[in-house]
Amino acid sequence: MRVVTFDIETANWLSDIGSSDPADLTIALVCVHDSETDTYSSFLEPELSKMWPILERTDVLVGYNSNHFDIPLLNKYYPGDLTRIQSLDIMQEVHSVIGRRLKLDSIAEGTLGEKKSASGAQSVQWWRAGEIEKVRDYCLKDVEITKKIFDYALKNNSLKYQELGKAREFKLDTSKWLSPSGGAMTFTLGL
């Protein structure tokens, strides 16, 4: 089964555009991990067309807050409908079990003993300053952390989060996370 773990960094922030809709933002770049090739890649906004064949041939898209933020924003650029690809939003899975949304950093610290390298706000500042490689490195690190969290959850049927200096574990039902829900797409491939 081909799994693509992904994350988006934006060129602006919601407060900049006076909107609460993530789809109104502008993509700076997208980073992915492709399980088929076990490689990490990044795509600047003008290069997104090179990423579509990867997404169209995946069985599941994995992200963190991806169903609410990343997929609606990415769908604005895609010539088809990315919601037709099976997706797993780890933040939604966490929320369904513990009843609240947790930051990726809290899950990463509790589960992996790692912290994110920066924040989305810092990424926008770097982007505006022309520090594209810092944005790319930050986004790739978030994809790596998300992939490690996904792998940990599949192996252990649980995750942990950091709260008040203590890691708290909770169980997850991951039995359907990799269940196929249909075939791969070919919208931009002309097949």
Helix (H) or strand (E) holding 158: strand 158-163
Q: Residue 191 — very low, low, confident or very high, per pLDDT cuts 50/70/90?
A: very low
Note whether 139 and 45 are within 8 A (CB): no
Q: Residue 187 — very low, low, confident or very high, per pLDDT cuts 50/70/90?
A: low
Domain-by-domain residue ranges, the chain? 3-171
pLDDT cut 70: percent of the chain above it:
94
Determine how many CB atoms are found less than 10 A away from the CB of residue 6.
29
Spatial CA neighbour of 83 closest among 103, 63, 97:
63
Q: Give the separation between CA 79 and CA 117, rounded to whole angstroms.
A: 33
pTM for this prediction: 0.91
Give 29-72 pLDDT, tens digit per residue: 999 999 999 999 999 999 999 999 999 999 999 999 999 999 99
Spatial CA neighbour of 6 closest among 114, 137, 144:
144
The half-sphere exposure of 169 on its side-chain side, counting CA atoms within 13 A, is: 7
Q: Give the separation between CA 164 and CA 19, rounded to whole angstroms.
A: 33
The predicted structure's pLDDT at residue 181: 66
Q: Any idea which architecture 3-171 has in CATH? A: 2-Layer Sandwich (3.30)
Q: Residue 135 — very low, low, confident or very high, per pLDDT cuts 50/70/90?
A: very high
Determine how many CB atoms are found less than 10 A away from the CB of residue 143.
23
Q: What is the mean pLDDT of the chain?
A: 92
Lowest mean pLDDT among 14-23, 46-55, 143-152: 14-23
Q: Give the separation between CA 21 and CA 120, rounded to whole angstroms.
A: 16
Query: Given a cut of 80, is residue 180 above it in pLDDT?
Result: no
